[in-house]
Amino acid sequence: MSIFNTLYVYYRFLEISVRSQMQYRLSFVMLTFSHFLVTGIEFLGIWILFERFGSLKGWSLAEVALMYGIVSIAFSITDAVMRGFDMFGNMVKAGDFDRLLVRPRSTVLQLMGQELTLRRIGRFAQGFAVLIWAASTLNVDWSLAKIGLLLFAVFGGAALFAGLIVLQATLAFWSTESLEIMNTVTYGGVETTQYPVVVYREWFRNIFIYVVPLASAHYFPAVAIIGRTDALGTSTLFQYLSPLIGFAFFIACLQVWKFGVRHYMSTGS
Amino acid sequence: MRGYRALVSARFRALLQYRSAAIAGFGTQLFWGLIRIMIFEAFFLSSTLSQPMAQEDVITYIWLGQAFLVILPWNPDRELGQEIRSGGVSYELLRPLDLYFNWYSRSIALRTAPAMLRAIPMFIVAGLFFELQAPENFVAGLAFAASMVGMVMLSAAITSVLSISMMWTVSGDGITGLAPAVVAMFSGNIVPLPFFPDALQTVLRILPFSSLGDVQFRLYTGNLPVSELPLVFFHIFGWTLFFILLGRWMVARGVKRVVVQGG
């Protein structure tokens, strides 16, 4: 199967998904709007704390907002694209996964093509607004390299979150019980990375640098963009390349997924 | 009265069955609590400005918020929604119970049973390892316990309104979609209310949400003196009454529209 053909099939999947969501236009608008407000309230919490305390270990609100924006946008992209994997547990329980296996396309393509959740535009818009505010408030000289790094970080972050959701789906092969514990690394990861990782205690920070390397998508690139010297002592070159870790993580998770698919046994229902 | 009591205890026992959900919820809430505490720790380290709450009180406040998180009226009773859609609600009309208080009783069980399952392990773990303090003194502990009963009453009244609203909206969009964020923010679950800007304090205190955790946890830590208790009760009962009357009015209007289709 050529790559172009695969992309074409994916495009057709998305077209159908978008059209079906547009059948309930009012519902879509309301869900998007409430998503915007719900995620906006999170940022309000950060603002309140900065009002009270002034700064956070030498970080300003605008600097934190830059990281918040990157993570928020990255997660909204993942959340919209990976819906099929997110709902995968139910699919295994119902035995619907068998249908995907008999089709002449990869399972990854078919699951990603399940749905493009458009209402995530709510979070995207909110993250984007915060990012624009941060970008204009910070005293940063926006060179082409820095804009490139920003985009790279957003997509690296999206890939990393996507990897986590693939891992969560893979767990469904072995356990059909509640997989909510994975939410602590996905939603919990979003929550954690609203702030620079250096403000956390060391053991906790290390989890998000080495185990679930979310710091590679928000902290290190943001340090390079702002032009601070990193308290963890990394070089500028590393900071520019660090979003690559997100893509590597995603590819690694796909390998685990393939391993899971090979060991899949249908529930038979 | 006996009928309602039986209803509460039956639902309560049914809801106690969801133990694996409680374990997962406990893990998530422990994680959330840890993040919040570390953030506050960092903020307290970076500022010498005087703050409206002491750091150890904030830590206890956060753990109490996590332990009792599911008491918050963040969702309607999904099973009631099912009943409304399927027409099962017409059976409820046949029972010799007032429909509103029938549902209010269910709401009480919905708010307390899952909270029990999570609060006990949270007190043990956070108390042993993560600096959850005992109440300021015995009287503060009693005031906390009494006001927690009030919190459940108020939360159940708001939950009932959310559930009853499903007579008009089929899916979870609309106000029920916004409820979790609004409730979490203005009850102090995201940031304790005393940290909000001073100009907002009066408004926050008047809104019903301050009685959904904030005043209770501050009574516990001693941040709110016990002498405030009469005012706290006045606030809780006033808003509870308001939401009960609103719910009853909605039920009365909704029932007129119920069409039993037979079959």
pLDDT tens per residue across span A133-150? 999 998 888 889 889 999
**Cβ of A231 under 8 Å from any chain B Cβ?**
no
The C-alpha R_g of chain A, in whole angstroms, comes to: 20
Out of B38, B173, B190, the one facing A201 most closely (by C-beta) is B38
From B24's Cα to the closest Cα of chain A, the distance in A is 6
Chain B CB within 8 Å of residue A118 CB: no
Please name the member of B25, B51, B185 whose beta carbon is closest to the beta carbon of A52: B51
Which residue has better confidence, A235 or B171?
A235
pLDDT at B170: 60
For tokens 């959310």, name the residue.
B162
When pLDDT is averaged across residues A191-203 and rounded to a whole number, the result is 87
Terminal Cα-to-Cα distance of chain A (whole angstroms): 31
Residues of B with CB under 8 A from a CB of A: 20-21, 24-25, 27-28, 31-32, 34-35, 38-39, 41-47, 49, 51-52, 171, 173-174, 177-178, 180-182, 184-185, 190-191, 195-197
Question: Considering only A24-38, B112-126, B143-157, B169-183, which range has the smallest mean pLDDT?
Answer: B169-183
Chain A from 120 to 179: CB within 8 A of any B CB:
177-178
- Are B156 and B71 in contact by the 8 Å Cβ rule? The answer is no
The arithmetic mean of pLDDT across residues A165-175, rounded, is: 83
Contact state of A181 with B27 under an 8 Å Cβ cutoff: yes
More confident residue, B163 or A173: B163
Give the residue among A48, A225, A65, A203 at the shortest CA–CA distance from A137. Answer: A65
How large is the average pLDDT for residues B130-152?
A: 92
Q: pLDDT tens digits, residue range B47-73?
A: 888 889 999 999 999 999 999 998 999
Ramachandran region, residue B54 (left: φ > 0; alpha: ψ -120 to 50; beta: rest): beta
Chain A's closest residue to B189, CA to CA, is A45
Put simply, the answer to whether B44 touches A31 (Cβ < 8 Å) is no
- Pairwise pLDDT comparison (A252 vs A32), residue with the higher score: A252
**Looking at the predicted structure, is the pLDDT value of residue A269 above 60?**
no
- The residue-averaged pLDDT of B107-133 equals 89
Using CA atoms, how far residue B212 sits from A25, B35, B164, in Å, is 35, 22, 20
Q: Note the helical H segments in chain A.
A: 3-21, 25-53, 61-81, 83-86, 88-94, 97-101, 107-112, 121-137, 144-171, 183-192, 202-206, 215-226, 236-241, 244-262
Chain B residue with CA closest to A196: the answer is: B39
What percentage of chain B reaches a pLDDT higher than 70? 95
Instruction: State both tokens at B263.
Output: 């079959």
Task: Give the pLDDT of residue B158.
Answer: 94
Six-digit token pair at B26? Answer: 């406990």
Average per-residue pLDDT for chain B: 87
From A41's Cα to the closest Cα of chain B, the distance in A is 7
Contact list, A51 vs chain B (CB under 8 Å): 197
A204: closest chain B residue by CA = B35
Taking the domains of chain B in order of start, what are their residue ranges?
A: 2-257
Å between A5 CA and nearest CA of chain B: 38
Q: List, for residues A184-194, the tens digit of each pLDDT value.
A: 778 888 888 88
Average pLDDT over residues B9-37: 83
From chain A, pick out residues whose CB is under 8 angstroms from the CB of B191.
45, 48-49
Taking CA atoms, what residue in B is nearest to A200? B38
DSSP B228: G
Do B46 and A55 lie within an 8 Å CB cutoff?
yes
Q: What is the pLDDT of residue A154?
A: 94
Task: Report, as an integer, the average pLDDT of A258-268.
Answer: 78
Model's pTM, two decimal places? 0.87
- Kindly state whether A1 is in contact with chain B, defined as any CB-CB distance less than 8 angstroms: no
Judged by CB atoms closer than 8 Å, whether chains meet at B38 and A56 is answered as no
Residues of B in contact with A199 (CB under 8 A): 38-39, 42
Residue B56 pLDDT: 92
Please report which confidence band the pLDDT of residue B261 belongs to, taking 50, 70 and 90 as the band edges.
low
Mutate to test the interface with B, among A199, A204, A207, A208 (most CBs of B within 10 A): A199
User: What tens digit of pLDDT does each residue of B194-237 get?
Assistant: 999 999 999 999 999 999 999 999 999 999 999 999 999 999 99
pLDDT score recorded for residue B260: 61
CB contact under 8 A, A27 and B171: yes
- Mean pLDDT, residues B167-171 taken together: 69
Most confident among A120-124, A161-165, B258-262 (mean pLDDT): A161-165
**CA of A47: which chain B residue's CA is closest?**
B196
State residue B172's pLDDT score. 54
Give me the pLDDT at residue A156, please. 94
- Give A248's contacts (C-beta < 8 A, 6+ positions apart): none
Say whether A49 and B28 touch across the interface (CB within 8 A). no
Query: Tell me, what's the pLDDT at A182?
Result: 74
Q: Is the pLDDT reported for residue B119 higher than 80?
A: yes
What Rg, from alpha-carbon coordinates, does chain B have?
Answer: 19
Q: pLDDT tens digit string along A45-103?
A: 999 999 999 888 889 999 999 999 999 999 999 988 888 788 787 777 777 777 778 78
Contact criterion met (CB < 8 Å) for B27 and A184: yes
For residues A159-185, give the mean pLDDT: 79
pLDDT of residue B224: 92
Mean pLDDT value across chain A: 85
Q: List the single residue in B with minimal CA-CA distance to A55.
A: B46
Give the integer Cα–Cα distance in Å for A216 and A208.
9
Of A41-55, A61-75, B13-27, B108-122, the least confident: B13-27
Torsion angle, alpha carbons of B165, B169, B170, B175, to 10: -80
Residue among B18, B19, B29, B31 with most chain A CBs within 10 A, to mutate: B31
What is residue B75's DSSP assignment?
A: S
The full DSSP string for A30-46 is HHHHHHHHHHHHHHHHH
What pLDDT score does A23 carry? Answer: 76
Task: Give Dmax (Cα) for chain B.
Answer: 70
Q: Are A64 and A46 in contact (CB under 8 A)?
A: yes
Give the one of A37, A48, A177 whose C-beta lies nearest to B196's C-beta: A48
